[in-house]
Structure 1
């Protein structure tokens, strides 16, 4: 299977007899290192294109797991529209649909020096709509986190409808479990809503999402809708 995956990725380097290099995002240690029954899509960085992207989806097979290969140099503004297109295509598929098929970002796993995969099947990307910090968050604890492109992020914490914390801090200094979850009640439900600067690189986005997943346990849930603006 590993040889097959490398073969699939190698096809990214040749398109229309022109050599194209796709730089995959790096992750520290992937939770998923093997995916079977796959077909690939590619989002290249190409400065000759109006939006600096070249989207190749001709090898996708609807009943398979999709490996979406995104060049790490692209911004979210450039990459997300193509990703949304693929998600919409998957949802609208009617014939020969495989309900168990999933979507993954392909990454370079630094810990094993091989491929790793980040699942995004259920993520709903919302673009150009800012997260409403005054939205009704129910009766439980909610963290609204916005990541800027300048290595800062804001955290707004709500307990039901009451805002109990509002900070803007440095990513390198405060991006850790203890900052986000300084205490934890036995049966407390904590929802985490994420939003990102649209100018952020895909590499930085994947790095943040990988680390956020490490912070999550059975009591903490990352809401499926992510905001890009």
Structure 2
């Protein structure tokens, strides 16, 4: 299935005015094969004012959706289009399949093939974080427990380092304690989609029984 999809992707790109989606990269995806799929594409277009173009002509509402987002797009550019796709599927009244899911398509560098990150239940919202002193190019993560809220700002350079470094930064957020922890993401909308996938893929590897990653993800200016 993976190889068939790659062939389909190449055919689509070569027949569509030579437009190319540069997929975001990740290592060791948890999901590497999906059946019953249809794709959508978010192109980076330097010739347009907003530098983005959505093609969803090949989407079938009852299938699993593979959303191919160019890694050069920012969250500010990409997320409104993604929310549009989510709403179309969630609000469908006919030809609806509640078991069908949504995935971001990535290039898994560990196998040099496709990998996928599910975002079916993610809800993107706009909200400015309160009482923070973020430096430029930082994104904010909030860890909540029944008793307190802790905040950390991580810069892009830290994000691009190893998982070990990333993990150490998160450990400062939630050292070992008994309460269940909810990690709430506040994301700088200037982040590239590549950096966003980097955050998501690393968090997926750090999940623990005591750590819940909230479905609501907030974007701020």
Task: Classify the TM-score, shorter chain.
Answer: 0.7 to 0.9
Distance, in Å, in 1 between the alignment partners of 2:134 and 2:109 is 24
Deviation at 1:179, TM superposition (A): 3.3
> What per-residue deviation string (whole Å, max 9, x for no partner) do you get for residues 156-201 of structure 1?
55554545x555455528953343235323x420000001111111
The runs of 4+ residues in structure 1 deviating greater than 4 Å are 145-149, 153-159, 165-171
Q: Secondary structure at the match of 1:104?
A: strand
Q: Secondary structure at the match of 1:224?
A: strand
Distance, in Å, in 2 between the alignment partners of 1:106 and 1:155 is 24
Q: Assess if the C-alpha contact under 8 Å between 2:75 and 2:189 holds in 1.
A: yes
RMSD: 2.5
- Counterpart in 1 of 2:211? 220
Q: Assess if the C-alpha contact under 8 Å between 1:126 and 1:226 holds in 2.
A: yes
Distance, in Å, in 2 between the alignment partners of 1:35 and 1:78 is 27
- Counterpart in 2 of 1:137? none
Q: Secondary structure at the match of 1:176?
A: helix
Distance, in Å, in 1 between the alignment partners of 2:143 and 2:183 is 9
Deviation at 1:12, TM superposition (A): 4.0
Consecutive unaligned residues in structure 2, runs of 5 or more:
none
Q: Assess if the C-alpha contact under 8 Å between 1:12 and 1:21 holds in 2.
A: no
- Counterpart in 1 of 2:115? 116
> What per-residue deviation string (whole Å, max 9, x for no partner) do you get for residues 54-112 of structure 1?
11000000110000000000011110011000100010111121111000000000111
- Counterpart in 2 of 1:177? 167
Consecutive unaligned residues in structure 1, runs of 5 or more:
134-144
Distance, in Å, in 2 between the alignment partners of 1:169 and 1:205 is 13
Where in structure 2 are the equivalents of 1:56-95 lying within 5 Å?
A: 56-95=55-94
Deviation at 1:4, TM superposition (A): 2.0
- Counterpart in 2 of 1:142? none
Q: TM-score, normalising length from structure 1? A: 0.83
Q: Assess if the C-alpha contact under 8 Å between 2:185 and 2:217 holds in 1.
A: yes
